[in-house]
Structure 1
Amino acid sequence: TGSGMGCMQDTEKFLNALLENKEAFLTPTAFIQSTHNTVGGQIALGLQCKAYNNTYVHGSLSLESALLDAQLTLQEGSAKTVLVGGVDELGTEFVDYVHLKEQQETHHKNVPYGEGAAFFLLTQDATKSNVLLKGMQTIPKASEDEIEAKLLQFLSENKIKVSDIDGLFFGTTGDGHDGYYDTVSNKFLAEIVRIPFKEYSGDFYTCMGFAVWWACHLLQMQCQPGAVCKQTIALPYKNCLIYNQEKGENHSFILLSRT
């Protein structure tokens, strides 16, 4: 699993109790339930799974880190099927502080903060799925020119041409760093579908899970979520590229293809 903030409501509950009780006579339950690996532990208990279980807390790259770990686990043969997911929640108090701090910036975000959870089953058996995680790359820091070069290199390494991409998912927020998305977008044909997924999910550390779910739906069902899917379409979706970054840092590309 990946989580940027962990179980925020329980964190707030624990910190409020800490203040109210003057750091004395505190029950550890709220603290235990507030840690980032709580969700992974609860799922393992529910499934009675005693296998490898790890949680990544890497900010906006938390889900991508979990996906990379799952990919390596499958490649080395340590598991046949891996459950991977990202979880984050708003809470009721901390989000107000984050929002206030963001609004003080000159070019602040224009999408609401959100919360959500998304889980996926990864397997090496291609017969059990019709969506392939073809490639993924994370880049801690880069200029817009460097991102353009990294994008072309990423596509080349995965044997995908720019013209092969049928759908683009961008994590645009309206802040001063959306120029990165324009740089990437300009490399593709104007008629390609471009989806600003944060306008629908809100902005949170693991919102890439929402974009991955949307792209998987597009590739599997050949239509947008909630739309009436036709039996045949003129231009089938075969390859989707997801790109996200957080204030000019923690860039990530995820390439999904229909098998």
Structure 2
Amino acid sequence: MKDPHAYYINGIGIVSPQKTFDHADFLTEITAYEENVLRCITPDFKNYINPIQLRRLNRMLRIGLTAATICLRDSNVQTPDGIITGTGYGFLDETAKFLRELLEQQEKQLTPTYFMQSTYNALAGLIALSVKCMGYNNTYVSKGLAFENALDDAMLQLCENENANYLVGAFDEAAEVQYFASIRASHFKTEYINSLELFNTTTKGSVQGEGAAFFMLSRQASETTWCKLMATSFIYNPSGKDEVTESLHAFLRANNITVADIDVWIDGASGDAEHDRIMNDLSTTIFSNTFHVRFKHLCGESCTASSFALWLGAAILKNQDVPLAVKVNLHDNPAQLKTVIIVNQYMNKNFSFYLLQK
């Protein structure tokens, strides 16, 4: 039966630092990283992209188009009604190449490809051309809330057209230029660690991640439905833990559920001793008795890491299983997995909540 308040995730495609592109393998094979940069594990691109087209695309466009293609195939939708993406920094590697050539060539005889593939909307446009989607196309570049804004836009669009299918995605790359700039701002750790030991550290900074994730969002359930997205909410630059706590309680009340109704809590802690204070407080107060899951040791920190969390929550509900790699405590899985809440934070300024149900 259709839930009039729900948005259905009818397909997912994700390429990340773990082997997530294969839906048959749910985090059974975990990859650890030693140099504080988590780069995507990619499939054979030729299985998803025309080889002639493939040779003209940069690495991140290949990853993004592959994730979108996996999502389209998973949802059995050939052409979506609209494409909406979110990104924190876009294609920084291509931007750096363009600016470097601009200086070296003294603004003469520049390669247009670097510029065209460095724009924020390059991926959304590429997908639209590839699947002949002439509908709504938009890209949000709002740092730590970029993916949340993309989802919010898609949900508003679906309120006006309940029979539509929107391809909603997020992407960010582990660009070298961003890494060194972020090191100076203490966003990433200066000492090398094993990524799987991220939450055992007590220093400032996290580890750099990247990836692309796409979701087919609709108001109609289908045979490919993963789960229901009941609601989202976000806060920018809260005054402290009290504002986050009050906003979280208001979010639960608005959706007529209590903490006791939640089977799994996905925690967006990043391994940063300073930025994780509010998340750690939530784990000992509101969610002290809720099954606890973390994910950023697998995908790293990025502006759109919450898209990895959304995939994880949907996969937990679809597979009715919580992989060992994401468990905070080695407890048995809950008897029933019906409701998942995601609480993510980015740099302790952007907080977002997602409510998922089976």
TM-score (norm 1): 0.89
CA offsets per residue over residues 163-206 of structure 1, 9 Å max, x none?
Answer: 01111112212231212112322344544322221111001111
CA contact (8 A) 1:73 1:79 kept: no
Task: Give 1:230's aligned residue.
Answer: none
Task: Give 2:109's aligned residue.
Answer: 25
Q: CA deviation at 1:131?
A: 0.9
- AA aligned to 1:15 is L
Q: Structure 1 residues 78 and 55 mapped into 2: Cα distance closer, same or farther (>3 Å)?
A: farther
Instruction: Determine helix, strand or coil for the equivalent of 1:55.
Output: strand
Task: Give 2:125's aligned residue.
Answer: 41
- AA aligned to 1:65 is N
Q: CA deviation at 1:125?
A: 0.8
CA contact (8 A) 2:186 2:205 kept: no
Equivalent pairs, count:
253
Task: Give 1:97's aligned residue.
Answer: 181
Structure 2: any 5+ residue segments left out of the alignment? 1-84, 191-201, 326-332
Task: Give 2:350's aligned residue.
Answer: 250
Q: Structure 1 residues 41 and 109 mapped into 2: Cα distance closer, same or farther (>3 Å)?
A: farther
Task: Give the distance between the partners of 1:108 and 1:91, measured in 2 at CA.
Answer: 23
Q: CA deviation at 1:243?
A: 1.1
- AA aligned to 1:149 is E
Instruction: Determine helix, strand or coil for the equivalent of 2:86.
Output: coil
Task: Give 1:197's aligned residue.
Answer: 295
Task: Give 2:329's aligned residue.
Answer: none
- Superposed CA RMSD: 2.3
How many percent identity over aligned positions?
37
**1:153 partnered with 2:250:** yes
TM-score (norm 2): 0.66
Task: Give 1:118's aligned residue.
Answer: 213
- AA aligned to 1:205 is C
**1:171 partnered with 2:271:** no
Moved more, 233-242 or 5-14: 233-242
Task: Give 2:29's aligned residue.
Answer: none
Moved more, 137-146 or 184-193: 184-193
- AA aligned to 1:135 is A
Q: Structure 1 residues 108 and 247 mapped into 2: Cα distance closer, same or farther (>3 Å)?
A: farther
- AA aligned to 2:293 is I
Task: Give the distance between the partners of 2:189 and 2:323, measured in 1 at CA.
Answer: 34
CA contact (8 A) 1:84 1:120 kept: yes
- AA aligned to 2:154 is A
Task: Give the distance between the partners of 2:306 and 2:156, measured in 1 at CA.
Answer: 19
Task: Give 2:157's aligned residue.
Answer: 73
Task: Give 2:279's aligned residue.
Answer: 181
